[in-house]
Amino acid sequence: MREGADARIEIGYGLADVTHLLRMAFDQRMRKMGLTTATWRVIAWLSRQDGQTQAALAQRLEISRVALGETIDRLEKSGHVERRADPTDRRKWRVHLTLLSRDLLPRMFETSAELQDAYFQDFSEAELKQLQLSLTRLRARLVEMKIETPDEESGK
């Protein structure tokens, strides 16, 4: 048997745990402003580029067009976004942030920065760089292995 098998397995669990805890920590704070994982993710992406189509957003977020459509339904009902028709293509909806959600953005970014400061507190710059490097390499490997993400089957 090869060495390091234990380390590999531990890393699998470690990644899952850490990601889970990170998401929990942020979600708890977002929930206090009435946002869920699915909804803050949409708002965060729209803050980078407003007025994207649903298909583009779904691809960005790596969820199915259907799932995104439902999330947009809820966000529209709660007044966080609005759908506007695309002037040149009647199949498309363009999704725009409303003032309500624009007011939330600063608090979202602050929260994110605060949390990051807290849990990377005792990491050296070198360690951070190394961690980032390892993750990037691992991601590249995984992407190379061509894992299909939802909705990509239809896209020939």
Partner DNA sequence: ACTTGACGATAAGGTGCATTACATTCACTG
Partner DNA sequence: CAGTGAATGTAATGCACCTTATCGTCAAGT
For the segment 20-39, give every residue that binds DNA (CB under 7 A): 36-39
Q: Confirm or reject binding of residue 44 to DNA (CB under 7 A).
A: no
Q: Confirm or reject binding of residue 6 to DNA (CB under 7 A).
A: no
- By CB under 7 A, how many residues form the interface with DNA? 34
| Contact string 93-132 vs a second copy (x = CB under 8 A) | --------------------x--xxxxxxxx-x-xxxxxx
- By CB under 8 A, how many residues form the interface with a second copy? 53
Tell me the CA distances in angstroms from 24 to 18, 36, 71, 119, 123, one per residue in order. 10, 11, 19, 13, 21
Q: Least separation, in Å, of the C-beta of 82 and a second copy? A: 27
- Rounded to the nearest 5 degrees, what angle is found at the Cα of 14, between the Cα atoms of 10 and 17? 140
| Sheet-wide strand order for 93-97 | 52-53, 93-97, 81-85
Q: Least separation, in Å, of the C-beta of 9 and DNA? A: 20
Kindly give the residue spans of alpha helices, DSSP state H, lying in the chain. Answer: 5-31, 37-48, 54-61, 65-77, 99-119, 125-144
Residues that bind a second copy (CB under 8 A): 2-5, 7-12, 14-25, 28, 62, 113, 116-123, 125, 127-132, 134-139, 141-143, 145, 147-149
